[in-house]
Structure 1
Amino acid sequence: MSAESTPEPVIPEPGGSGPRKGGKGRRRKAPSGSRRALRVTAWTLAGVVVLGGAGIGYVYFKLNGNIKSVDIDQALGNDRPRKIDNGSENILVLGSDSRSGSNKKLGGGVDDGSARSDTAMIVHVYEGHKKASVVSIPRDTLVDRPVCTDTKGTTHPAASGAMFNESYGTGGAACAVKTVESITGIRMDHYLEVDFEGFQRLIDDLGGVPVTTTKNIDDPQSHLSLKAGTHTLTGEQALGLVRTRHGVGDGSDLGRIQLQQAFVKALINQVEHVGVFTSPKKLYDLADTATKTVTTDSDLGSVNSLIDFADGLKGIGSNHMTMVTMPVQYDPADPNRVVMARSKAQLVWDALKNDRPIPKAATEGTATGEAKGVVTP
């Protein structure tokens, strides 16, 4: 169905009695308000900034056409870690900093058409889907990038001592997944990506996110200036917060990650409490923005698949999440770069492979960034 011939979506009032058709041909009752709220929380966890999953089924034909997907499995073939069938799932979530189009202004760079993964998180959902661990990968980590083939069939050579975020810039989603699987030994079951512009619009559609800062944050490079205190961040301020590295902590990417993790929890808390389901227009705006913003692996590349995926995560809230940074140390040759602390990182990967909690010993004595506690939900 073309965009010109797509009928204007009709959104029933919350609590409507009409059944709708769900995934795999089964019929479902209209979800209750609490069920819809849980579903949006699941989206937030999985995609960090991917909201609005609850309303997608109401406007299927319109929103299904919004979603972009990439076939990671076809690009990477069989040379991947073994899939572990124990009820757990691993999702690679990337925030891309494209410098093209409308992202040029937000990214603060030249419009050269390039893109890198500005934010990278492995979300491990434990068996039973009641809790999750999130492992942030610093973009400035020096890694050995493996040979990889992108989704267009182009093969990119391996590189030693390359920055982690260059994997995405080199070969897109497929090479980013290949690099993560190479350094962790863990297969990524799914992939979610969102860009600068979409992140900002999602926060604005939500009505902002409240956070408390314990220190002043002033970073002209990310266009952020916040006095110590409680704020409801606009989309532009939220984008500045998750990107700032010079306004707080030791100025490293590790400090930025600590701010990102605090913001994710604040975002989840806000979604749980805001009344998006009392306004059909707000619900539709969130779902429309989310589906235009997100890029997924092909297995999640439809509205029905995303709804089923979100249903499996609906019991996970911020109080059931553990958030850590991949264990690293500053590179002795360049303090602006970090290297993986291999023995401690292995504790993290072993825990996730075996569906166990990440031990505290894994992050003790590693580089931190010194921004923990500056922002609280």
Structure 2
Amino acid sequence: MNTYVTEPEDAQQTGLPHPPPRPHRRWLRWAALGASLAVLAAGGAAWFLYNRLDGNIRTDTEAVEQLRRFERERPAAVVHEAKNILLIGSDDRSGDNGRYGRDSGTQRSDTTILLHLSADRSSATGVSIPRDLMVDIPECSRPDGTAAGPLFAQFNWAYEMGGAACTIRTVENLTGIRVDHHLIVDFTGFEKLVDAVGGVEVCLAEPVNDPEAHLVLDAGPQRLDGEQALGYVRARKGIGDGSDTQRMERQQEFLTTMLSQVRDDGLLTDPAELYRVLDAVTSSLTADPGLDSLSELYDLISGVRGIPEDRVRFMTAPRQPYTYDPNRDELVQPDADLLFEALREDRPVPEEGRRPSGSPSAGPLTGPSAGAGVPASDTGTEAPEPGGSPTGSPTGSPSPGESADDTAGSLCG
């Protein structure tokens, strides 16, 4: 027995060969090595993808410096846990955006939405600010460092004069609401996002032909790709009555539909699809330092993804044709102040009020958002733009004796 136990040692001493290693031990070594390499590769790939997405986001340090200079003039936050984020759609025509028109060396905000997230993250309210709204624009610094303003002009001039910082200060002066963060999205980025989610379904009550928006669409239900979607949300001619009212309603409805589609299609739970969406989003964003990283955007999204769809509302600041120029807008008071006060104090947006004076049904109302703005999903008829028709149909004008809902319903089922 002792001789058997010491046989390997004796064999070594006598120069005999070692017994071959057992096959299962060799397999375990290779499996462990393969698993280690797989973990390293996965970790390296994840690190690479994360850094690529994180690096896509541009930081708007210039706006931060401008806002810091005017800190004493800015309103204080009333409810600190609530967040107010200004979403700006840039009308910049440089670079890849040049195909949408000539670049004159300036840019304007084509779309501006003030997004309010309640302190308990149980609701979200987006308020569109009309680009033709007449407002007081404060003194701002131009990109070349020279001063501009103050002046009384249409709202989208603020972005042309002084970029995001000037737009933020104009919104704060208008609403009394402290803007905590801002995000800027350009034309190309919007296209990429729509394409990344596989297009967005819409239904048109009548055909659309708007050469300026590069948009030709048939009536009825269809799925728009990125370029078509951009034309759809920007078009004013060749669709509906051509008013900015309908354009903003289309934007609000389109965003609501796209958000619902992303949630229903499970794009946020599929890693490959999620990466495509994140790549499209981050490559189109310019953000302040508080939202210029993936981790910060994730914290924001994770805090709002549980909000029920019926607690997410989009509306337009209550306004009417400007007294001295019917092609411009002015706020309807006290409706606008009531809306801004509710958001500022993180209270529910008023559900009851009065229609703007001069509207077809002026007087006390009990319908959703009367007097506080017009939600995209609850829009009735508003005062028509000069030379236009009531803006109850966001997708086209019905024929005589037929409502917009009937027209759309017959096409879209």
TM value normalised by structure 1: 0.78
Bigger Cα displacement from structure 2, 69-78 vs 325-334 = 69-78
Shift of 1:363: 6.9
Q: How many residues align?
A: 323
CA contact under 8 A between 1:215 and 1:374: conserved in structure 2? no
Q: For the residues of structure 2 that align with 1:317 and 1:248, how far apart are their CA atoms? A: 32
Q: 1:314 aligns with which of 305, 326, 339?
A: 305
Q: 2:76 aligns with which of 77, 82, 94?
A: 82
Shift of 1:326: 0.7
CA contact under 8 A between 1:258 and 1:372: conserved in structure 2? no
Shift of 1:186: 0.6
Q: Which residue of 1 aligns with 2:106?
A: 114
**What secondary structure is seen at the aligned counterpart in 2 of 1:309?**
helix
Matched, 1:195 2:200: no
**What secondary structure is seen at the aligned counterpart in 1 of 2:184?**
strand
Q: Which residue of 2 aligns with 1:102?
A: 96
Matched, 1:164 2:155: yes
Q: 2:394 aligns with which of 371, 374, 377?
A: 374
CA root-mean-square deviation: 2.7
CA contact under 8 A between 1:259 and 1:371: conserved in structure 2? no
The aligned amino acid for 1:82 is: A
Shift of 1:111: 2.3
Q: For the residues of structure 1 that align with 2:309 and 2:216, how far apart are their CA atoms? A: 26
Distance 1:279 1:132, change over 3 A: closer
Q: Which residue of 2 aligns with 1:144?
A: 136
Q: Which residue of 2 aligns with 1:294?
A: 285
CA contact under 8 A between 1:259 and 1:372: conserved in structure 2? no
Q: For the residues of structure 1 that align with 2:255 and 2:353, how far apart are their CA atoms? A: 22
The aligned amino acid for 1:89 is: K
Task: Name which structure has the greater RCO, CA cutoff 8 Å, separation 6+.
Answer: 1
Q: Which residue of 2 aligns with 1:123?
A: 115
Matched, 1:224 2:215: yes
Shift of 1:288: 1.6
Q: Which residue of 2 aligns with 1:348?
A: 339
Give CA-to-partner distance per residue, 1:162-206, whole Å, 9 cap, x none. 111111111111111011001111110110110111101111121
Q: For the residues of structure 2 that align with 1:143 and 1:193, how far apart are their CA atoms? A: 21
CA contact under 8 A between 1:345 and 1:362: conserved in structure 2? no
Q: Which residue of 2 aligns with 1:3?
A: none
The aligned amino acid for 1:80 is: R
CA contact under 8 A between 2:262 and 2:268: conserved in structure 1? no
Bigger Cα displacement from structure 2, 287-296 vs 221-230 = 221-230
Q: For the residues of structure 1 that align with 2:313 and 2:271, how far apart are their CA atoms? A: 33
Q: Which residue of 2 aligns with 1:32?
A: none
Q: Which residue of 2 aligns with 1:69?
A: 59
Q: For the residues of structure 2 that align with 1:361 and 1:227, how far apart are their CA atoms? A: 38
The aligned amino acid for 1:356 is: R
Larger Rg: 2
Q: For the residues of structure 2 that align with 1:57 and 1:129, how far apart are their CA atoms? A: 30
In the alignment, structure 2 segments of 5+ residues that lack a partner are 1-38, 360-381, 385-389, 396-407
Q: For the residues of structure 2 that align with 1:74 and 1:357, how far apart are their CA atoms? A: 33
CA contact under 8 A between 2:89 and 2:185: conserved in structure 1? yes
The aligned amino acid for 1:145 is: I
Q: 1:261 aligns with which of 227, 252, 264?
A: 252
Shift of 1:91: 0.8
Q: Which residue of 2 aligns with 1:7?
A: none
CA contact under 8 A between 2:140 and 2:161: conserved in structure 1? no
Q: For the residues of structure 2 that align with 1:199 and 1:239, how far apart are their CA atoms? A: 7
Shift of 1:151: 7.8
Q: For the residues of structure 2 that align with 1:345 and 1:65, how far apart are their CA atoms? A: 39
Q: For the residues of structure 2 that align with 1:99 and 1:242, how far apart are their CA atoms? A: 17
**What secondary structure is seen at the aligned counterpart in 1 of 2:194?**
helix
